[in-house]
Amino acid sequence: MNTNKTVLITGASKNLGNYLTRFYLEKDFKVIGVTKKSKSKINKDTYLCDLSDAKKTEKVFKKIKKKYKKIDLIISCAGISKKTYTKNETIKDWQFAFNNNFFCFTNLLDSYLKVYKKKSTKIIVISSIASNKITSAPITYSVAKSALNFYAQIKAKDLAKNDIKINILLPGNILMKNNNWSKKLQVNSSKVKNYIKTNVPLNTFCKPQQIAEMCDYLFGKSGDYITGSKFIIDGGESL
């Protein structure tokens, strides 16, 4: 039971963000959701906000501050990848990738620091193994996630003295209902299974629960001496 703990989750209405919302609600946390378009079906306390807009982000944080004096954990789950890989990416593609995978976190962090006056907290940034390894993901997405990692590490070093800890999770191949991998499996199951068999030493997909357990570990006392670290949860794919 964690009735006094508060977690803020961005990208809370879909996929991993939705899973983490449910995970922390079941642990009796107060969960604050922030989503871009649709409100979460499982959490009433959800705020609509396009985090790539700095002013809107600050405004939503001011609103949240009125209700919650302290946020114990922030999980930045917002992020989008265009499904198709193109070798002719345009400036619009780059803007899309950076707005949705990089600026949505810089704005989140800046607003938190400003509104909550650098109050001690733990922050977990959900990145991707595409930020660390050349994969079939679009280059715009991979580079934006890579920039996100480096930004988060620089900030972790800077904010350690304020007891604000920032760590980065780099999941590989998460399989969830209706997500990209699930759709790929429906289209060509044997090709996808063969990919996993050939490329992932543990020979399985990543389960969202495995990401949640890592968040839980970092949030707990055992994670008190860890900041600025990258955690690769990919069954060994990037070895």
Partner 1 sequence: MKKKVCLITGGAGFLGKKYCEFFLKKNYVVLCIDNNKKNLNSIKSIKSKNLIVYQCDITKEKKVEKLFKLIKKSFFVDVLINNAAIDAVPFKKIGLQKFPTGKMWDDEINVSLKGSFFMIKFFGEEMNKKKDGSIINIGSDLSVIAPNQKIYKSSYKNYIKPVTYSVIKHGMLGLTKYFASLYGKSNVRVNMISPGPIKNNQSKKLLNELKNIIPMERLADPKEILGLLYFLSSSDSSYITGQNILIDGGRTII
26 binds partner 1 (CB under 8 A): no
Residue 223 is a binding residue for partner 1 (CB under 8 A): yes
Instruction: Output b/e per residue, 54-68; b: 16+ Cβ within 10 A.
Output: eeebbebbeebbeee
Bridge partners (DSSP) listed for residue 125: 76, 168
Name which position in 4, 62, 193, 224 contacts partner 1 (CB under 8 A).
224
Closest CA to 112 of 36, 57, 35: 57
Min dist CB 141 to partner 1, Å, is 21
Which of 70, 83, 160, 188 binds partner 1 (CB under 8 A)? It is 160
**Residue 182 Cβ vs partner 1, minimum distance, rounded to whole Å:** 17
Coil, strand or helix at 34 = strand
Exactly one of 16, 144, 156, 192 binds partner 1 (CB under 8 A); that residue is 156
What are phi and psi for residue 108, nearest 5 degrees? Answer: -60, -50
207 contacts partner 1 (rule: CB under 8 A): yes
Tokens of 155: 């900030």
Residue 217 is a binding residue for partner 1 (CB under 8 A): yes
Q: Where are the alpha helices (H) located in 99-224, listed in sequence order?
A: 104-115, 139-159, 180-187, 189-199, 208-219
Q: Contacting partner 1 (CB under 8 A), which of 72, 93, 110, 216? A: 216
By rule CB under 8 A, what string of x and - marks binding of each residue 35-54 to partner 1? --------------------
157 interacts with partner 1 by CB under 8 A: yes
Q: Does 28 bind partner 1 (CB under 8 A)?
A: no
Q: How far is CA 127 from CA 5, 44, 56, in A?
A: 24, 26, 23
Cβ proximity of 73 and 122 under 8 Å: yes
Site of interaction with partner 1 (CB under 8 A): 150, 153-154, 156-158, 160-161, 200-204, 206-207, 210, 213-214, 216-217, 220-229, 231-236, 238-239
